[in-house]
Amino acid sequence: MSDDSPRGQAALLGPAEVRTLAEEFGVRPTKQLGQNFVHDANTVRRIVSVAGVGRDDVVLEVGPGLGSLTLALLDVVDRVIAVEIDPKLAARLPETVAQRAPELAGNLDVALRDAMKVRPDELPVAPTALVANLPYNVAVPVLLHLFAEFPSLRTALVMVQSEVADRLAAPPRQQGVRRAQRQGLLLRGGASRRRGAVGRAVFWPVPQVESGLVRIDRYTEPPWPMDAESRRRVFAVVDAAFAQRRKTLRAALSGWAGSAAEAERRLIAAGIDPSMRGEKLDAAAFVRLAGTE
């Protein structure tokens, strides 16, 4: 048996179990927290399989909900850290796992935290992989935050709204897609690829949108220095450039530099044409620009 095959020690959740647990816990799913729970064992097995995680990985799961994906993850990897914002769901998860995967229950840590704010020193150990069915309304900000704040993450497999999956994984020169989001993620993290679609029927309640899987693999050699101060400087100029991506860099960066004239001076010093737009710059150019600060 290979190192990443399921142990077969977790009883995964089906439609009846998801409804029963929600009822027992008094959970009424809210749109605000993107609470659509997966009730299909094949879907969660597929997510874990395309995530490519193995026994040695420490998996960070954002939004474990009722535990559908958590159980499938525990069946493969040795450690899962689940970060959940809903106190009721966070409190009941260990119990569900103890009942449905008793031998694996000790491999789970649950943190009652907001994934957009969580910091490495709030978790018991550094995660190596993110695997999550993300709350759709905050999926991209959560990804950006985690890739920026957790240098230990080497890979991520996330389920997001289908259109967001397309944008995140779109090739750079594709027409009509919002490059800024993808590029922002790339600059912070790594290369992203679309890894399949998921229909609405596997969720309860049924969402209004289709879903897609995206895998992001961190660059082995990041395009920027990894110390916190350099990262902060690079991200500040990336954010400034992408906040107004239809403007020329000279105009978009005037706030960052203090004036349009100073922005122009820094752009020229970094060897960048001030009349270009931010979305045309590669990571190396942003690093040079941050160095002119």
Shortest spacing between CB 57 and ligand SAM, in angstroms: 17
State which amino acid sits at residue 19: R
Annotation-wise, does 176 bind a ligand? no
Shortest spacing between CB 56 and ligand SAM, in angstroms: 22
Annotation-wise, does 158 bind a ligand? no
Contacts made by residues 237-241, CB under 8 angstroms, sequence distance 24+: 237/286, 237/289, 237/290, 237/293, 238/184, 238/187, 238/188, 238/278, 238/286, 239/184, 241/278, 241/281, 241/286
Reference 119, options 86, 83, 89, 154; nearest CA is 83
Nearer to ligand SAM, 36 or 248 (CB): 36
Annotation-wise, does 114 bind a ligand? yes
Q: What angle do the packed helices 179-188 and 162-169 form, to 10 degrees? A: 60
Task: Yes or no: say if 290 and 233 are a contact pair by the CB < 8 Å rule.
Answer: yes
Interface residue list for ligand SAM (CB under 6 A): 33-38, 62-66, 68-69, 83-86, 89, 114-116, 133, 135, 138
Q: Which residue's Cβ lies closest to ligand SAM? A: 63
Nearer to ligand SAM, 107 or 244 (CB): 107
Nearer to ligand SAM, 58 or 80 (CB): 80
- Compute the distance between CA of residue 290 and CA of residue 286 in angstroms, rounded to an integer: 6
Annotation-wise, does 4 bind a ligand? no
Shortest spacing between CB 203 and ligand SAM, in angstroms: 8
Annotation-wise, does 38 bind a ligand? yes
Shortest spacing between CB 139 and ligand SAM, in angstroms: 9
Task: Yes or no: say if 260 and 251 are a contact pair by the CB < 8 Å rule.
Answer: yes
Shortest spacing between CB 37 and ligand SAM, in angstroms: 4
Annotation-wise, does 63 bind a ligand? yes
Nearer to ligand SAM, 37 or 256 (CB): 37
Cα-based distances in Å from 197 to 158, 166, 229: 11, 10, 38
Nearer to ligand SAM, 34 or 212 (CB): 34
Look at the chain and count its residues: 293
Annotated binding site: 36, 38, 63, 84, 114, 133
**Annotated binding-site positions for S-adenosyl-L-methionine:** 36, 38, 63, 84, 114, 133
